[in-house]
Chain A
Amino acid sequence: MLSPEQALASVFDAIDEINAQLPDGMRVEKSPDTSLTGDQSPLDSLTLINLLVALEEVIARQRGEAMQLLDEDLLGEPEGPYSTPATLAAYVAKAA
């Protein structure tokens, strides 16, 4: 079981991991409301995919749980579970 707070911490850890691979100007702000999808998002689809795969690895490492978070159908939903770190954390907590 993951609480929403724990899930959000894992999302931020995943953001740290992908930020380490991104140049200045492409890094993702670690805020619950950062837009991760849609036209307002600074992330392109590849960065979002990398973030979701990194989050799966973070959870596997921290919790020993294998989660399948990357769902192609959800990638195109601007208001879906991937839209912000907060919604993503809620999605993770619910799925865990």
Chain B
Amino acid sequence: MTQKVEPQSRLTLISDFNADTLARTLAATASALDVRVAPFGRPHEALADCGRETPDTPTTLLVWTQPQGAVAGFRDALTFTPYDQQQVLDEVDAFAGLVMAAARTCRAVLVANWTMPPSARGLGPLDHKAHIGLRHLLMRMNLRLADALGDLPNVFILETDRWLSAAGGDAAWSPKLWAAAKVPFAPRVFQSAAQDVTATLDALAGRTRKLLILDLDDTMWGGVVGETGWEGIALGGHSLKGEAFLNFQHRIKALTNRGIVLAIASKNDEAVALEAISNHPDMALRPDDFAGWRINWQDKATNIADLLEDLKLGADAAVFIDDNPAERARVAEALPGILVPDWPADPTLAASTLDALACFDTISITDEDRSRAALYAAERKRNAAAPAPGTSPDEWLAQLGVNVTVTPLNPGNLTRAAQLFNKTNQMNMATRRMTADELAAWAEQPGNTILTFRVADKFGDYGLTGLLGLSIGDDTTTITDFLLSCRVMGRGVEQSMLHAAVNWAQHHGQDTLEAQFMPTERNRPCQEFWTTSGFDRTGDNLFVWPLTKPYPAPGTISLVSEVAA
């Protein structure tokens, strides 16, 4: 399956072996990717070249070396002579230094960790002994490399052993291809690697799946709850099937801790299903773990489309898991973009199948991610607490007690701001994409600033959900970026952001504030906001506000500014 990557993405492979097969496999996996291969066998020189910025500097680097190709000391250790561990680690530091230098000129650097064939016995029982064992040394080298590169926000170490395992362990190594063409691995290894690399590129571009929609009967538990009642379903209870489903639920629950939101789409009686989720003693997932559900006898694709609308997410943010192949086919056909993985009939394979999905890969996990499930649960309760008949929208917003706090970009909110910058699609005026480093560097330029917006109401804290980029000109300040999480759209936060922008530009003595809306396939909601914002539309999607007049903040919002006067 051809995967999405950013158009015009360029990836350069640096390796001590012939990486042409990998380059071709990557091109076959992600057709939009421009893959180049540095001359093989000279990884140190190739890295050093990347560290010196040139017009050919790649946007992303993949560095995949064999340990003996990157660290000469390891080559010596392969001869079973005693090695000087410190000397080897110094070489690792030097290699890491080259990666760090390259990372300063590249958008991202992916580094495959070092490995060796599992069948290589090394020194047998001595192989994990310090100062003599190969595997001991290899573990030290990998840890040293990971520690050296760990603080760099645009360097990521990829798990080579997963690629080798997917290709059959020892069968992953091809002595014949090595002898014939200096290719150490069987082609299947490169297929697995290519999938992992494209998943990481997708994560870098913010294309991480955020929502997991689950069927219930024979997916989350064994049996049909409508027939047996919750007492009769297979879940926990020391039975093979029950343990398998419980293990699967624990893995689902774990996903919520990294920011994945859960929902249910099931053909069932809602009251019966919710009774099971609430009352079964072994149920690992409870109603509060789900942002929403559609449990009824309607078409599942229609139900999922409704759910996505409720949660303000696109189909390309969602994954649907169902044991029934017909339901999977129906949903996949009806909702282009949704990921519907093949699902094993054997429930003991469900947890590992879930764990193997690359679509949840992300390049950062923030506090907002960890609390996202709770945020959505609060949203569900918020929606359930319907306003009394006759309540006006403004009265309802006032009852919500929305608080907005404006804070300039700072090291404490940079990771979340960059994540918002790269993930927001619908309410995004310019859809610029920048890494955390690029965002910080832009904000530090004279005349530029990034303002962030935290939003909370009486039901809970949404976290940092809005971001403004502002740039001072001669007389005109430009809103370079205006983006807001869809979770808080339509609550007056948008107007609060423009109020903050106008105040900032007035404070800097400017005459005019303008914003150029850049249409994409996804940001029509943002355009609709701007056309009703009160700004004058003076050109092709150019919106202007004269700074001789204030832009009022909504009366329903409590606005706190931490921006220095």
Contacts and interface: CB of A to CB of B under 8 A. Distances in A.
A41 interface: no
Contact of B180 (A20, A21, A70): A70
Contacts of B176: 53, 56, 70
Contact of A50 (B21, B28, B191): B21
Interface string B147-189: 0000000000000000000000000001011001101001100
Contact of A21 (B24, B174, B177): B24
Contact of B187 (A23, A54, A56, A72): A54
Interface string A48-74: 011001101000000000000010100
A49 B24 contact: no
B28 A46 contact: no
B20 A21 contact: no
Contacts of A20: 28, 191
A53 B174 contact: yes
Contacts, number: 43
Q: Is the interface of A mostly helix, strand, loop or mixed?
A: helix
Given A17-B187, A46-B18, A54-B187, A22 B24 contact: yes
Nearest to B20: A46
A54 B19 CA distance: 18
A21 B18 contact: no
A77 B164 CA distance: 34
Interface of B is mostly: helix
B190 interface: yes
Given A21-B25, A22-B24, A50 B31 contact: no
Nearest to B171: A57
Contacts of B25: 21-22
A49 B31 contact: no
B145 to A, nearest CB: 29
A21 B190 contact: yes
A17 B167 CA distance: 14
B149 to A, nearest CB: 30
A46 B18 CA distance: 10
A54 B176 CA distance: 11
Q: Using C-beta atoms within 8 Å of the partner chain, give the interface range for chain B.
A: 10 to 19
Interface in A8-27: 17-18, 20-24, 26
Which residue among A17, A49, A50 has the maximum number of chain B CB atoms within 10 Å of its CB? A50
A50 B27 contact: no
**Chain A: interface residue count, which band?**
10 to 19
B439 to A, nearest CB: 33
B198 to A, nearest CB: 13
A31 interface: no
A88 B511 CA distance: 78
A70 B176 CA distance: 9
A21 B181 contact: no
A23 B21 contact: no
A53 to B, nearest CB: 6
A45 interface: yes
A54 B177 CA distance: 11
Interface string B1-35: 00000000000000000101100110110010000
Given A46-B18, A46-B21, A50-B177, A23 B27 contact: yes
A63 to B, nearest CB: 18
B421 to A, nearest CB: 31
Given A17-B187, A21-B190, A49 B28 contact: no
B31 A26 contact: no
A21 B31 contact: no
A26 B26 CA distance: 13
A56 B18 CA distance: 21
A83 B301 CA distance: 52
A35 B423 CA distance: 47
Contacts of B24: 21-23, 26
19 contacts: A20-B28, A20-B191, A21-B21, A21-B25, A21-B187, A21-B191, A22-B24, A22-B25, A23-B24, A23-B28, A23-B31, A24-B31, A46-B181, A49-B177, A49-B180, A49-B181, A50-B21, A53-B186, A70-B176
Interface of A: 17-18, 20-24, 26, 45-46, 49-50, 53-54, 56, 70, 72
Interface of B: 18, 20-21, 24-25, 27-28, 31, 174, 176-177, 180-181, 183, 186-187, 190-191
Q: Which 4 A-B pairs have the closest CB atoms?
A: A23-B27, A23-B28, A21-B25, A49-B180
